[in-house]
Every structure is written in C-alpha cells, then in structure tokens.
Amino acid sequence: MISRALELRLLGALVAVLVWIPLSGIVSAPDAQAFIPRVDRAMKEIARVNRASGRGQALQLELTMRVGERPPIALGQLITHPSGLARLELRGFGGRVDRYLLSGRELLGTKDGLRLDRPQPLLQPLFFLQPSSEATLRAALEAFDILSDSIGLATCGEQDCFVIGDPRLAAPLPDPVPEPQLTDADVLEDPLAELTLDPESQAGARELAEPDEEGAGDRSGDTLDFLEGPDLLISEDALLPRLWVDTEDLQVRRIDRASGVYTIFGPIVSFDKLLVPAWFEVHEPGAEPIRFDVNRAVQVTAPPQAFSRKWLFAPADPSGSGDPASDSPAGLDESVDSVPSSR
C-alpha cells in the first residue's frame, strides 16, 4: 500500500505539471512585463501585420538622406520587393549618382556608373517588413542565417521587442519538479522477489554483467562517444543576425546583421493606408549613422528586370528626374508604374 504522505507528494507533482502545460507556449519575462510566444505563432502574427500594413507587394519609397546630425546630402528612391530584391538610387545635391542593388545577401554598388569595390551597406533587407505568410518570412530569415526557431525578449528604446534569432535571449526552461523523497515505508514490495533463476540462468546473467578482459562487455564509453555532440554555446559578445519586432504592434523595429551593421526603424506612418516607418537609420561600426527620412511611399509593379545589373551600370539621367524608366537602356522595359495603394 502507498502511504498517505507519498500520495500527497505525487498529487502535488501532478498538479505542478498540469499548471505548467497551458503556459508552455508563453513564458513570463520578469524584467519586461511581457510574454514570449512560440516562435511559429509570432511569425504568423508578424506576417498578418505585414499584410494589414499593405506591404505585401513591391514598394517604392522616396527618401531624404543625411549623415549624422548634418543637413541632408542626397535624395533617394528605394524599391523593395518581398521576394528579396531591392535597389536604391541616391542623387547627391552635388550631382553625384550612386546606385545599389541587393539580391539576397549580394550587394553591388556603382558611383556615376562605375562599379564600387566596397559599396557602403546603405541598402539593407527592408523586405523583412514585407513577407505575408509565416513560410515566406521564415525563408527570408533563414536566407540571412537568422535562427528562425529562436525567440527572446529585449528592450528596444522605450519599447520591448521580441527578438528572433538569438538563443541567448530566449526564456529559460522551467525548474524541474523535485522528485519526492521515498522512505522504506513508501517502497512497494517487489512481486518477483520470491522468484529465483536456475543455476544456468544465474551464470549467464553474471557473464553479461561482468566485462571481459578487453572491456567488450562495457559499452558505456561507446555510447557516450556516440551521443556527444558539438558545443552549441554562444559567447556573450557574438554578433548574430536578428530581427526585432515591437511586442505591442508587431512592427519590425530593428534588423541586425552578422557583420555588426544594424538598421533601426522609426514610428509607423500612413501613406494612403500604406503603413511604413517614418524613417530608418543604418548603423555601421566605426561610422556615423546614416538616416533616411521617408517622404512618400506607394505600392508599385516591379518586374525582375527592374533589379537587373543593366540598371545598375546604366548612365544616370542628367536631368535628375529620378524616373526609373528614363534610366533604362533602349529595348529594356524597366518602367515601374507607381500607383497609390488601394488599401
């Protein structure tokens, strides 16, 4: 018979397990007064916000560029596609024209039509703001080596952000439920205690239990070697690519790259029901932040040719009209038909 004390201890352990099960999807964050959802649920909600914000197709942003706290130095036009393509044209007030083309993680740049060996990281993956499904968002993150199965919590300015891609910020596992301490009175009698093996079986059991001279009977070492895996610990100062989203509105607030470059986004504003950040800043280690203010944003139709290398190396329009079609080589339709968002 099980004692009353053991029954109470087992009941307490069962209650602790049942209480934990409904909360396994979210974990309380004591410092930020928020909850961390499962990463798949978070990405579904982020994709839903992207759809509701009207960013599910190609976008064209008209920008003003400045370095640090200095006056503006250029006007820009950024076209970003949810598939992972983006292009940026900057027209300096002194007549210089810079172009940048981003295809996945490959960044190319030109200055007045001449290739830049080391283009500045001005064009970042803003298309992380555009995926309209969990699958496309996960694919975009994994293309930039972001650990899409990890989600944590951190402060971002005056807000709290969910951070995808950094296991160091993930919620800790719950403390294990302590096992009840059994006494002699709590131990059940062995129903097989009165059974005995015949002499031959006893000899065979001893032979299996005792290793031979070469240690063939001891396989524990082999088992440990087989189960031993690589060291997955991440140092505290390691630079990981990460995606930060606001815990309240699930809008993207920051993108980190493994190079140390990161982009932060300002508050969301509306351009004819199209919701985009009012500004974004690109921070490169050892350099002043580069800020882009968004003056206008529209949905556009951007064919793949609009992101070709012919556009990148084409002579710039001397009139400075900024019309992508005017910079297209003859015979190549790279026009981008700008239409206001219908949302």
> Cα separation of 164 and 240, whole Å?
10
Position 100 scores a pLDDT of 98
Specify the pTM.
0.69
**What is the three-state SS of 37-63?**
CCHHHHHHHHHHHHHHCCCCCCEEEEE
Most confident of 193-197, 214-218, 293-297, 317-321: 293-297
Residue 325 has pLDDT above 80, yes or no: no
Q: Where are the domains of the chain?
A: 45-171+237-336
* CA-based max dimension of the chain: 103
Distances (CA, A) of 324 to 80, 126, 204, 335, 336: 14, 20, 85, 6, 7
What is the structure's pLDDT at 203? 56
User: Is pLDDT of 276 > 70?
Assistant: yes
In the DSSP assignment, the letter for residue 28 is: E
Q: Are 73 and 58 in contact (CB under 8 A)?
A: no
Strands (E) in the chain, as ranges, are: 27-29, 34-36, 59-67, 74-81, 85-92, 97-103, 106-111, 114-115, 151-156, 159-164, 242-246, 252-256, 262-265, 268-271, 274-277, 279-283, 290-301, 337-339
Q: 268 exposed, middle or buried (CB, 10 Å; 0-12, 13-18, 19+)?
A: middle
The topology under which CATH files domain 45-171+237-336 is outer membrane lipoprotein receptor (LolB), chain A (2.50.20)
Strand 106-111 and strand 252-256: the pairing is unpaired
CB atoms within 10 A of CB 114: 8
Name the pLDDT band for 23 (thresholds 50, 70, 90).
Answer: very low
Mean pLDDT of 65-91: 96
Token code pair at residue 135? 């699958």
Q: How high is the mean pLDDT of the chain?
A: 77
pLDDT (0 to 100) of residue 86:
97
Distance (Å, rounded) from C-alpha 186 to C-alpha 188?
6
Q: How confident is the model at residue 92 (pLDDT cuts 50, 70, 90)?
A: very high
Q: Single out the residue of 292, 301, 290 nearest to residue 342, CA to CA.
A: 301
Residue of higher predicted confidence among 96 and 226: 96
User: Which of the four pLDDT bands, split at 50, 70 and 90, describes residue 343?
Assistant: very low
Can you give the pLDDT at residue 270?
Answer: 96
